[in-house]
Structure 1
Amino acid sequence: MESIILLVLMFAMLYFFMIRPENKRKKEAENLRNSLVVGDEITSIGGITGTVCAVKENTIVIETGADRVRIELTKWAVSSKNAKAGEQASK
């Protein structure tokens, strides 16, 4: 009986320390990708930074650099969202 309780306790600890936080991070990343709007500054998983120009169902178009190069990326390639360009200038 004690070994069963110990086994259940170990699985509970595994869930609360490994599985639950990972699911929470995935959900936050999905919310971030779904909340992208035109004008957001983003960084891709490859390190490309730029401003969102268009948002489609599964992809986004970003504009990078002073020469205004446009790149189409899938939404899952977005790593983080930075402050908008207008918000940075006002701070």
Structure 2
Amino acid sequence: MFFITDAHAQAAGEMSGGALAQFLPFILMFVLLYFLMIRPQMKRQKEQKAMLAALKKGDEVATIGGVVGKITKTDDNFVTLEVARAAGQAVEMQFQRGAVQSILPMGSIK
């Protein structure tokens, strides 16, 4: 009878350690996923948000659709880009701020 009790006590101790060992790969995969995918994406979003907040008149930008132009007006939600000159007049297009993909170096547009 003493042998049966000892055997049950030993099996219970092994199960708790085995359960942790079973979940350890999932925990490690989540940590790896966080550092390789989630954290860099959050950093890119933060940089994009800061770039959009810093847009000002005179910046040369490229939009997500590939339109390149110089900012002539800014608003809380929209920017107006001068995309060309025709007959001495500026051709302007209005875009949402979120459509701006990047700020180009000054002098990029000829």
Shorter-chain TM band: 0.7 to 0.9
Question: Which stretch shows the higher mean deviation, 44-53 or 61-70?
Answer: 61-70
Deviation beyond 4 Å, 4+ runs, structure 1:
none
What does 1:43-82 correspond to in 2, within 5 Å? 43-67=62-86, 68-82=90-104
Contact kept, 8 Å, 2:70 with 2:83, in 1: the verdict is: yes
Specify the structure having the higher radius of gyration (Cα): 2
Q: What are the ranges of 5 or more consecutive residues in structure 2 without an aligned counterpart? A: 1-19
Per the alignment, residue 22 of structure 1 pairs with: 41
1:51 is paired with a residue of what secondary structure?
Answer: strand
Larger relative contact order (C-alpha < 8 A, sep ≥ 6)?
1
| Equivalent of residue 5 in structure 1, options 17, 24, 37 | 24
Q: TM-score, normalised by structure 2?
A: 0.74
Give unpaired runs (5+ residues) of structure 1: none
Give the number of equivalent residue pairs. Answer: 86
Residue identity matched to 2:81: I
Per-residue deviation, residues 9-55 of structure 1 (Å, max 9, x unmatched)? 11000111011111111111111111001000000000000000011
Q: Which residue of 2 aligns with 1:34?
A: 53
- Percentage identity across aligned positions? 33
